[in-house]
């Protein structure tokens, strides 16, 4: 049996999460393994009743817009689930992360954690699960897990330290993660690229599909998980007469909101300009060689650590928060990025071979 169980953030809603999941599968397949993404439902903390009441009242007073948002989100989840068939290899059933059977690991040659922010967004009660404690140490693999930031709350440091100490070879996705591992355990972690960078442009284009609402004329693409910054609106105001504008993940553009991951990749590939606040947005702009500008998250979690790491790695620090009059807004030099990507992929493969003791 040669099968690898994959633990990462799981759901049917986030583009970057689904695409890194697919890339992890493809990398392990290149070693001759079959794969299975382990589905689980994360435990949710219940807010005190007074806070829940306030949330309900707020929802009620914006009932019409909230119903529209709810319907759009359900439609996207439906499209993501439909898209998963035949592409993603997922476990048949959901597991309870707090009650893993002691024989669970026996169906896998190895268990792999990562990528995405699996070490940053879990309920700390799930530590045994995300640090793979249900499997023997020799079966535990890390594939670019991210802490999601550069610090850990003091009350959880012991939990992280114990979990990381139970892994022979530790990799992380960001330099800040390497620093955290060193501070917590004294171990030296290897910084690996996001798994999506291990696939070529051709492979991602082959994966992509055209969305039925995709414009026929040239377009500027936006993808913001927070609010659109002022500079972005300035760019759109200046160029909307020349280019059509496509807003992904915007409730103001319901015709594009529920595009599936393959369609999302296609939108980025054909855009004349891509404006985003997303880590994976930047990763795919680099992979597909699409001119882009990245902006700080407005009204949400900071992406500074992750964004800074990938811009530095690919020598693209000058693509941060461009305005409408920037001379190279629509033009980028990607002549050096493919070589960097090849080197980063080689590092990934070498690390995984060592972890799995493959000659």
Q: Which two tokens stand for residue 17?
A: 């999460």
Residue 148: its pLDDT value, please? 84
Mind listing the pLDDT tens digit for each residue in 157-203?
A: 999 999 999 999 999 999 999 999 999 999 999 999 999 999 999 99
Q: CA-CA distance, 267 to 172, in Å (whole number)?
A: 29
Regions of the chain where pLDDT drops below 70:
1, 42-66, 121-123, 300-304
Region of residue 91 (phi > 0: left; psi between -120 and 50: alpha; otherwise: beta): beta
- Tell me, what's the pLDDT at 63? 55
Question: What confidence tens digit (pLDDT) does each residue in 3-44 have?
Answer: 999 999 999 999 999 999 999 999 999 999 999 999 998 655
Domains in the chain, ordered, with CATH? 3-45+84-197+341-356 (3.40.50.2000), 200-336 (3.40.50)
pLDDT at residue 243, as a whole number = 97
pLDDT value, residue 60: 53
The predicted pLDDT at position 53 comes to 52
Residue 10: burial class (beta carbons within 10 Å; 0-12, 13-18, 19+): buried
Question: What is the predicted pLDDT for the residue at 68?
Answer: 77
Quick one: pLDDT at residue 54? 54
Model-level pTM?
0.91
Tokens 């397949």, residue? 29
Beta strands at 110-113 and 3-7: parallel, antiparallel or unpaired: parallel
């Amino acid at each position: 049996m040669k099968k690898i169980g994959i633990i990462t953030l799981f759901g049917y809603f986030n583009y970057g999460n689904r695409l890194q999941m697919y890339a992890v599968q493809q990398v392990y397949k290149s070693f001759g393994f079959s794969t299975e993404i382990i589905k689980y439902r994360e435990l949710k903390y219940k807010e005190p009743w007074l806070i829940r009441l306030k949330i309900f009242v707020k929802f009620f007073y914006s009932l019409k817009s909230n119903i529209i948002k709810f319907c759009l989100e359900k439609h996207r989840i439906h499209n993501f689930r439909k898209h998963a068939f035949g592409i993603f290899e997922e476990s048949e059933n959901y597991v309870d992360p707090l009650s893993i059977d002691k024989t669970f690991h026996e169906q896998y040659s190895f268990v792999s954690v990562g990528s995405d922010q699996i070490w940053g967004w879990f309920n700390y009660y799930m530590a045994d699960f995300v640090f793979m404690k249900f499997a023997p140490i020799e079966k535990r693999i890390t594939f670019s897990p991210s802490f999601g930031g550069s610090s850990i709350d003091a009350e959880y440091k012991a939990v992280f330290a114990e979990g990381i100490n139970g892994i022979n070879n530790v990799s992380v996705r960001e330099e800040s993660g390497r620093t955290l591992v060193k501070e917590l355990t004294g171990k030296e972690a290897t910084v690996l690229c996001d798994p999506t960078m291990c696939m070529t442009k051709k492979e991602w284009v082959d994966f992509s599909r055209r969305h039925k609402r995709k414009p026929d004329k040239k377009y500027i693409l936006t993808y913001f998980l927070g609010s659109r910054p002022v500079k972005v609106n300035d760019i759109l105001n200046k160029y909307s007469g020349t280019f059509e504008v496509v807003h992904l993940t915007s409730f103001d553009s319901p015709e594009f909101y529920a595009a599936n991951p393959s369609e999302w990749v296609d939108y980025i590939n054909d855009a004349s300009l891509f404006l985003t606040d997303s880590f994976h947005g930047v990763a795919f702009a680099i992979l597909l060689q699409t001119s882009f500008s990245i902006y700080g998250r407005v009204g949400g979690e900071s992406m500074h650590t992750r964004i800074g790491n990938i811009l530095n790695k690919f020598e693209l620090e000058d693509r941060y928060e461009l305005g409408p009059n920037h001379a190279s807004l629509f033009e980028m030099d990607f002549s050096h990025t493919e070589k960097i990507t090849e080197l980063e992929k080689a590092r990934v493969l070498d690390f995984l071979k060592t972890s799995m003791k493959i000659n």
